Chain A
Amino acid sequence: MKAASNLEHVLRSGAFAVTGELGPPKNGNPEVVREKARLLKGVVDAANITDCQTAIVRMSSLTAGLIALSEGVEPVMQMTCRDRNRIGMQSDLLGASALGLKNLLCITGDHQKFGNHPQSKGVFDMDSIQMLGMVRAMRDEKRFQCGEAIKEAEPRFFLGAAANPFADPFEYRPIRLGKKVAAGADFIQTQIIYNVEKFARFMEMVRDLGLHEKAFILAGVTPPKSLGMARYMKYNVPGLDVPDGILSRLRDAKDQREEGIEIAVDIIRQVREIPGVAGVHIMAIEWEQAVAEIASRAGLLPRPAYQNVVPVLVSEATIEEAVATAKKEVEDALAHEIDRAKAEAQASRDLVAREKERVQSELTGLRKDLAAAREDVRSREAELGRMKEELLKTRQELLERPMTTVSVQPSITPSLGPEGAGETLTPRERRVLKSISAGLDALRKGLGLSEDQFSAIRHFIEAELTIHAEVFPESRAVPTPISRPMESPLPEMAPAQAEAAAPAPPEVSPEDQERRKQVTRLIAKGNVSLQKRAAQEAMEAFDAALALDPGNQKARDGLARAKGLLPAAPQAVPTAGGGIPPCPPELTPEEWQRKWVIRLVARGNVALQKGDMEGARASFEEALRIEPENAKAKKGLAAVESGAAPPPAPSEARPEPLPVSEPPPSQPSAPKPEAMAAKPAPPEPKPAPPSPSPVGVPLAVGELPRESTSLAERAEGVDKGLYLDPASGAIRAVRIGDGPSAITVGGESALPFHLFEGEMPFPPRIAFEVLDSPPEDWPEVLTRHYSDVLADPAAWARKCVNEYGAKAICLSLVSTDPNGRNLSAGEGAKAAKSVLDAIDVPVVLWGCGNAEKDTETLREITSLIGSRKVCLSPLTDANFRNLGATAMALQLPVVAATPIDVNLAKQLNILLQNLGLPLENILMDPSIGAVGYGLEYTYSVMERIRLAALTQQDDKLQVPFVCNLGREVWKAKECKLPSDDVMGDQEKRGILMEAVTAATLLLAGGELLIMRHPTAVSLTETLIKSFM
């Protein structure tokens, strides 16, 4: 025996134990505990006293346990780890032991979040398993948790722990139970069981571990009080498994409480069959009354006699109460005895009196009976005589007048009741009467008939007559009063229904309905127009709707919105010559006219700005028509006149395949940039159907006119200091490629093309971009030039060199991109090798942009290609070390790529130089944007870099620029939109985008351009040539 508690006795005796649960009150009233204890007394072997369950403040379990004990119920004190640290816990345990509490259930406790003080600090100094170990050590080793000895009475508890077979992970649950047993648990009470099947599986695992032999396992059972409670447990209590069968049992039950008790009883019966289950723990939450009922129905009563349930402390009041109770019991017993004797005496007296009375009344009765019998005989004789007489008389009359009517009647009717009285007899009735008389005749023979028998026959005849009477056509009685109330509401309902079903007043409704429909349709139409911002249409629709239904609010709102829209939707207004549109109601006509003129002028200005001379002219003229003196309109018109160099004759517009093989003769001094299509959107009329340009060279540019006189000559007489700002630094020249086809870029000591200020020994170069796999997002106008070679990078490169005269190739290793096709470095290298084998011109190898992959791929390539002086790119801050080392070893030029920033560019160059890479082998990719996509930003950054290099001797920036622009240009939306009237020919558009971007980058200092379209390349080369 660990603690010799009653529960321990019961369990060790091998009896199936029953424990209950007693929840202390949320106040200080001991009576609540007493009452609950009385309900459990004799029903359970021990009752668990919960410790602030669900973290709600209640009377302490120690105190309530003591009160229960004083009522003769053995408590199982529960203790959680939530509210006390090890000092408080051990202190309370000493106290509980001192007060005679012998069972302790150790649990971690519900988290404070679930209770009524969620703000409180959860202590959790230890967990339940550690607590078991601590309490066992106090009991068995007589030492506190710190190790210090407990010198005198150690607390002795029969130790319990909780287990939840339904929490996760399921397979771990028995193992955790084993930890509790190992830590000191003598008995286990499980979570509430509804899923018996799962519990059985749990028990199987428990048995496998032999735990049922080391600790007593009590199965937790709770009668569901209602369907609602069961549902709550199913869905809201974590770790509770309530099968649907339980819910449906409750749902179908007439009396849910009764069914709840039955469910609990069923579960007890089932778990009792599972080996290793030593008892049940019945938790009737706030329903302690049910425990006795459940225990009784489950055959668990009576409980073994209580042992050792002795409260250590009993209050004075309790003793007084006990004495009073005992005294009262004795008094009651005495009083009862006296009462009984008295009652017995009285009963004897009563009996004698009753017997006397009975004999007397019997005698009187007999006498009365005799007299009555005599009188009866007399009256019967008289009656029979009279009837005999009557029948004889009737018979006589019938025989006398056999076929006549009526005469029978008086003799019959009195005995047949009033039904037939006063009515003419039909032959049928007559036949009936005849039979009756025959019957009565027969009666004559049997005179021995009693009064009753006779009257029975009489009633039969009456009934027969009544039935036959109903056959007669007297149907006025048929509509019974019952059917009346059913009928009455009908006439009231019917018209209403009729009205609803079919139009009751049909002369009004169809019209009305049609009108309403039309109004709805009009409003819908108006709303659609509003959506389309067609204010005029919308207004018309709403006006029409209002004409039909002047009060319609939707139409009014719509009209107002349409009016509001009017100024915002100029396209809804006639363009020119249509006069002033109707004046909106909120303005006076003068105001409206003024506003309209302002609007026309504005529209004119917008058109002018867009280059739409004709539109502008129309707007201004219209404005002047309304207000001839309007200065702004006049000014605008004048601007149209002067600015419209090609006079407004659009019909003569001829499709002009963009600039020009030679400068137009009318403008001899036409500057070169114009030839380069510097005006991408000139007001010129478009070639109406943009038919695809012929494959090959859609834009041909001949040699551009060159300035033959030098600046010095032209500026003769001007002080050189005024226009010369010679550079103090120079850009390094970088050589790419091998042998005679090698190219050199950079080397200049002046701003781009400022040949009057310094040297520009090497012209800028253009490399054709070749992809290592067929491009996926190139527009057809671009791919068509390479359609035969797209799948073969070597052939592609060869075509560039042989057909388009490429001086260099940039091989983009796009297919190695890990986010794309993710070809291996080896495959990328193979493609590169094939290209290099196919051509002699210099090759720039451009990685996919993924730093790690590029390192891998480019290294792989360099190992394959021997001594070819390819240019490696891009080197970024993420991979410059590895690739820089490779380049240094093989003395290859590299491209240092940085995101469009002067300092970052410089920094990377410094890093590369620190690595040991000479600046003579470095080109810079400043990250560029296409025209319309950040070109201006690129330009300014490049310009700043170049100025720093040339005028501030910024050594680290004195390297040439690489501009990988083809890919930037051709991904722009403008290059992908198909040909149309507004945007013009797609290919021409793309070529110009690329050429203009290239031209701009040249002016910013670009030395090696990477481009795609052969025509764009040729345009750019022409430009370079003419500048040099």
Chain B
Amino acid sequence: MTEGHSNIVGFCCNYAGRVSEEVLREAGLMPDGVRIERLPCTGRLEVTTLLDALEAGADAVFVAGCEEGTCHNLSGSHRAHKKVGVAKGILAELDMDPGLVEMFFVPRAETGPLVSAAREMASRVAGGKKGQRSER
């Protein structure tokens, strides 16, 4: 992974943002280095999945779940939100930036919010890297 090129994993509800990431990337919407993993429901997500993604080299991880009240499984994205909270706590305990894990609630039919979420994370990673450089 080269500097300036971020490696971000997004765990995304199968129902959120229906257009595939390839199409989005081809359309110049999805930042480079963002990989979207589709899940049947974000409620299925475990804290370890988030941590392991970071351990495996991701610069940041985000979860895009359904907006409140629209989850297919009623409270899946709510549970995901709590798991993200736990992961954030662990990052803080490890002196890492808790902002490297984030939860986004995205409408089920639109692609824009998913893209914004990916961009937000890309800019956080970029900001973090810049910060590290200036620290040195």
The yes or no answer to B56 lying at the interface (CB within 8 A) is no
Contact B115 A568 (CB under 8 A): yes
Given A567-B28, A568-B29, CB of A602 within 8 Å of CB of B112: no
Q: Which of the 9-residue segments A402-410, A593-601, A820-828, A905-913 touches chain B?
A: A593-601
Q: How far is the CA of A567 from the CA of B115 in the complex (A)?
A: 11
Report chain B residues within 8 Å CB of A599. Answer: 27-28
The yes or no answer to B116 lying at the interface (CB within 8 A) is yes
The size class of the interface chain A forms with chain B is 10 to 19
Report chain B residues within 8 Å CB of A609. Answer: 23
Smallest CB gap from B116: residue in A: A568
Partner of A568, one of B26, B40, B72, B112: B112
Contact B28 A606 (CB under 8 A): no
Contact A605 B23 (CB under 8 A): yes
Report chain B residues within 8 Å CB of A570. Answer: 27
Contact B112 A598 (CB under 8 A): no
Q: How far is the CA of A937 from the CA of B14 in the complex (A)?
A: 14
7 pairs from A and B in contact (CB 8 Å cutoff): A568-B112, A569-B112, A595-B28, A603-B27, A605-B23, A605-B26, A937-B40
Smallest CB gap from B15: residue in A: A932
Report chain A residues within 8 Å CB of B23. Answer: 602, 605-606, 609
Contact A533 B112 (CB under 8 A): yes
Q: How far is the CA of A598 from the CA of B30 in the complex (A)?
A: 13
The yes or no answer to A454 lying at the interface (CB within 8 A) is no
Report chain A residues within 8 Å CB of B19. Answer: 606
Partner of B27, one of A533, A602, A933: A602
Contact B29 A601 (CB under 8 A): no
B91 to nearest A CB, angstroms?
A: 28
Report chain B residues within 8 Å CB of A937. Answer: 40
Write the B80-117 contact mask toward A (1 if CB under 8 angstroms, else 0): 00000000000000000000000000000000100110
Chain B residues with a Cβ closer than 8 Å to the other chain, count: 11
| Top 3 closest pairs, chain A to chain B, by CB | A602-B27, A602-B26, A599-B27
Report chain A residues within 8 Å CB of B27. Answer: 570, 598-599, 602-603, 606
Write the B27-57 contact mask toward A (1 if CB under 8 angstroms, else 0): 1110000000000100000000000000000
Given A605-B23, A606-B23, CB of A567 within 8 Å of CB of B29: yes
Write the A590-630 contact mask toward B (1 if CB under 8 angstroms, else 0): 00000100110111011001000000000000000000000
Q: How far is the CA of A403 from the CA of B29 in the complex (A)?
A: 118
Contact A598 B26 (CB under 8 A): yes
B66 to nearest A CB, angstroms?
A: 12
1-31 of chain B: CB within 8 A of chain A: 19, 23, 26-29
Smallest CB gap from B70: residue in A: A973
Q: How far is the CA of A533 from the CA of B116 in the complex (A)?
A: 12
Report chain A residues within 8 Å CB of B40. Answer: 937
Q: How far is the CA of A595 from the CA of B28 in the complex (A)?
A: 7
Q: How far is the CA of A570 from the CA of B24 in the complex (A)?
A: 12
Q: How far is the CA of A569 from the CA of B116 in the complex (A)?
A: 11
Q: How far is the CA of A249 from the CA of B19 in the complex (A)?
A: 74
Q: A598-B28, A602-B26 are in contact. List 8 more A-B contacts (CB 8 A).
A: A533-B112, A568-B29, A570-B27, A595-B28, A602-B23, A603-B27, A606-B19, A933-B72
Report chain A residues within 8 Å CB of B29. Answer: 567-568
Report chain A residues within 8 Å CB of B72. Answer: 933
B62 to nearest A CB, angstroms?
A: 17
Smallest CB gap from B108: residue in A: A973
Report chain B residues within 8 Å CB of A605. Answer: 23, 26
Q: How far is the CA of A937 from the CA of B72 in the complex (A)?
A: 14
Q: How far is the CA of A598 from the CA of B22 in the complex (A)?
A: 12
Write the A915-957 contact mask toward B (1 if CB under 8 angstroms, else 0): 0000000000000000001000100000000000000000000
Smallest CB gap from B113: residue in A: A568
Smallest CB gap from B26: residue in A: A602
Write the A500-539 contact mask toward B (1 if CB under 8 angstroms, else 0): 0000000000000000000000000000000001000000
Q: How far is the CA of A595 from the CA of B25 in the complex (A)?
A: 12
A940 to nearest B CB, angstroms?
A: 12
B132 to nearest A CB, angstroms?
A: 25
A972 to nearest B CB, angstroms?
A: 10
Smallest CB gap from A933: residue in B: B72
Contact A601 B115 (CB under 8 A): no
B129 to nearest A CB, angstroms?
A: 20
Write the A419-451 contact mask toward B (1 if CB under 8 angstroms, else 0): 000000000000000000000000000000000
Smallest CB gap from B72: residue in A: A933
Q: How far is the CA of A599 from the CA of B23 in the complex (A)?
A: 9
Q: How far is the CA of A601 from the CA of B19 in the complex (A)?
A: 14
Q: How far is the CA of A601 from the CA of B112 in the complex (A)?
A: 18
Contact A601 B26 (CB under 8 A): yes
Interface centre among A533, A569, A570 (most CB of B within 10 A): A570
827-877 of chain A: CB within 8 A of chain B: none
Write the A634-659 contact mask toward B (1 if CB under 8 angstroms, else 0): 00000000000000000000000000
